[in-house]
Amino acid sequence: MPARPGEPQGGEGSRRVPEVEFRPYGVRVRVPRGSTVLEAARLASGDLQAWGLDAPCGGQGRCGGCTVVVESGSASGADEREVELLARRGLGQWGASGRRGLTASRLACRVRVTGDLAVRLPPPSAQARFQTSGAQWTVKPAPAVRLRGPGPHLGLAVDLGTTKIAAYLVDLEKGDILDTAACLNPQAAHGHDVIARLSHALTAPGGRESLRGLAAGAVNGLARELCGLTGHAPESICDAVVVGNTAMHHLFLGLEIKRLAAAPFRPEVAGPVEVRAGELGLEIPPAVRVHFLPCIAGYAGGDHVAVLLATELDLASRASMVLDIGTNTEISLARDGKITCCSCASGPAFEGAHISRGMRAETGAVDRVWLEDGEGAVPRYSVIGGAEPVGYCGSALVDLLAVLLEAGALDGSGRLRPEALNGLAVLGAGPQAAVSLGGVPFTQADVRQLQLAKGAIRSGVEALLAATGTGPGEVARVYLAGAFGVAVDPRKAVRIGMLPALPAAEFVTVGNAAGAGACLALLSAPERKRAEAVARSVTYLELAALPGYQELFLESLGFPDT
């Protein structure tokens, strides 16, 4: 008789604690019956992404990102939700029984261990491309610490992002960045957004300590890598600066997060904080004081203060704007010596999450899409590494929307009309509509996810313009920060309505401006003081509390006609 959801797929009569083997690594771990394979994987490895596993939704069974293959043993069958997610990812059709045999794709967060089990992990993806360069800046070294004895005297600057962590090893005497390194934030195993991680910290036994340990471990790994690359010992590090959004800041510091996790989302501590490295579990001299830049609000943290520092928005003589686009997008508008800031829940769609074939900017990702000139134009694309295309990264998703709009294959409401464009394979119609470019599907559901993301950003920009009485034609400069900001074509962002038309604006890409700002604060005590002054001076706009914001957001979901 076929297994039903929650029933074993294989025989296992023993009462002993089941053992799960993770292939091809040969790692085995024992877990209580009823544990999920994802829980077992977390016990077996502190870095799920190094094992090729991804759980953007925190293991809630919503994203379909933690695919494994059950090769043998005893496990629960698939329920309807798992069947739906697997089908959406093109991993085969499951029978009505919810079973496809033991050699089958499954979601690690939905498979429950009922006996000994052998699971094959996916091959880890190629190394993702990270943006660790920043805005161009010059500063006279004036570090906050006294440099005693013979050198070298080094500093460590860290941008602790929700998705990625970037670190910089800096010569405090000369002001040189000796090298940079980056990695994915291993906390992503517990959710790609800060809400999921705060929830994990509050509800999971030992959740807060686990998240803090994962962050410290990642920073330690980057510090070791940087010291190895430059031939220096970690003992040479005598100062450190960390920037991050308010949730990352609080979790790393071990601060109370209950007020941060619920409306009105107040930080427990907003001002600058210094903690000894030993208290944070960092493997640099334990007496080194690690400086955390101040936060602005619950959803605008020290990383955005660092962006403002690097772009010198506080010194702008003309109306200027900066967007640091990510899972949470911070936007600031400077006018007449005042800075107004807001935060948008743009989500991880532009980082590839919740998109059927979305992925990070790595080998095999389509990164550019354009229409070939001439009559009967057809879409063309480029792929990172020149490999066969396997998915779309964020810049390609913006390009693809713009191409579909230009060709009339996407209407203003976001409905796909793929028959209007040559060179696209049509895979479905209506709500199930999908097209394929180079064999990589792009669905109607993907369009809806991107509308939510771009609508959040656009409504934030419009709210800032309205709150400051600034017309679109008055904005002289727009800084685009972060990896996505560097990769996206501003013209395409305007075409899809992510940004309004700003006729007088000069668009400037500034790379990882948060990392650059962290380096400035590391090298210069006056810059740290300036960061404090900037954070205090910013007026924070709580979008959800604005009258009419919901209507503004809904208006921002549509695509412009031209």
| DSSP assignment string, 39-56 | HHHHHH-S-GGGGT---T
How far apart CA 199 and CA 180 sit, in angstroms, is 32
Tokens of 424: 């696209």
On the 0-12 / 13-18 / 19+ scale of CB atoms within 10 A, 551 is exposed
pLDDT given for residue 50 in this prediction: 57
- Average pLDDT of the residues of the chain: 85
pLDDT tens-digit readout, 433-455: 788 888 889 999 999 999 999 99
Domains of the chain listed by start with CATH number = 19-120 (3.10.20.30), 154-310 (3.30.420.480)
Tokens representing 271 are 């001002």
Structure tokens given for 155: 């500093």
333 vs 394: CA distance, rounded Å: 24
| Residue 303 falls in which region: left (phi positive, over 0), alpha (psi -120 to 50) or beta | alpha
Taking CA atoms, 514 is separated from 4, 15, 272, 531, in Å, by 50, 53, 16, 12
The per-residue pLDDT for range 85-142, each reduced to its tens digit, is 776 655 543 332 333 334 467 889 899 999 999 998 775 443 334 444 554 566 789 9
- For 31, the token pair is 């877990």
Cα-based distances in Å from 52 to 44, 88, 113, 362, 366: 14, 19, 20, 13, 20
pLDDT value, residue 13: 41
pLDDT tens for each residue of 235-249: 999 999 999 999 999
Residue 554's Cβ-count burial label (10 Å; 0-12, 13-18, 19+) is: exposed
In 328-463, DSSP assigns E strands to 329-335, 338-344, 365-371, 379-383, 391-392, 425-426, 434-437, 440-443
**Backbone phi and psi for residue 93, each to the nearest 5 degrees, phi listed first:** -95, 135
Identify the band that residue 24 occupies on the pLDDT scale cut at 50, 70 and 90.
Answer: low
Residue-wise pLDDT tens digits, 290-305: 999 999 999 999 999 9
Note the Cα 168 to chain centre separation in Å. 19
Cα distances (Å, whole numbers) of residue 284 to 44, 220, 227: 27, 8, 11
**pLDDT band, residue 52 (cuts 50/70/90):** low
Name the residue among 355, 385, 349 with its Cα closest to residue 367: 385
d(CA 157, CA 168) in angstroms, rounded, equals: 5
What are 463-510's pLDDT values in tens digits? 999 999 999 999 999 999 987 888 889 999 999 999 999 888 889 888
Determine the pLDDT at residue 163. Answer: 83
pLDDT bracket for residue 264 (50, 70, 90): confident
Are 432 and 349 within 8 A, CB to CB? Answer: no
pLDDT in tens, 392-409: 999 999 999 999 998 888
Is the pLDDT at 545 greater than 50? The verdict is: yes
61-75, 289-303, 382-396: least confident range? 61-75
Q: Which of 223-232, 384-393, 457-466 has the lowest mean pLDDT?
A: 384-393
Give the model's pLDDT for residue 145.
Answer: 93
Given a cut of 80, whether residue 199 has pLDDT beyond it is yes
What does pTM read for this prediction? 0.77
Output the pLDDT for position 453.
Answer: 95
What per-residue confidence (pLDDT) applies to 28?
82
Give the pLDDT confidence score for residue 120 in this predicted structure: 83
To 10 degrees, the CA torsion angle through 389, 391, 395, 396? 60
**Separation of first and last alpha carbons in the chain:** 58
The residue count for the chain: 562
Three-state SS for 464? helix
531 vs 107 pLDDT, higher one: 531
- Here the tokens at position 43 are 């016990």
- Tell me the Ramachandran region of residue 518: left when phi exceeds 0, alpha when psi lies from -120 to 50, beta otherwise: alpha
Q: Is the pLDDT of residue 418 over 90?
A: no
Residues 6+ apart with CB under 8 A from 176: 170
Torsion of CA 494, 495, 501, 502, to 10 degrees: 40
For the cut 50, the answer to whether the pLDDT of residue 335 exceeds it is yes
Strands (E), 271-316: 273-276, 289-292
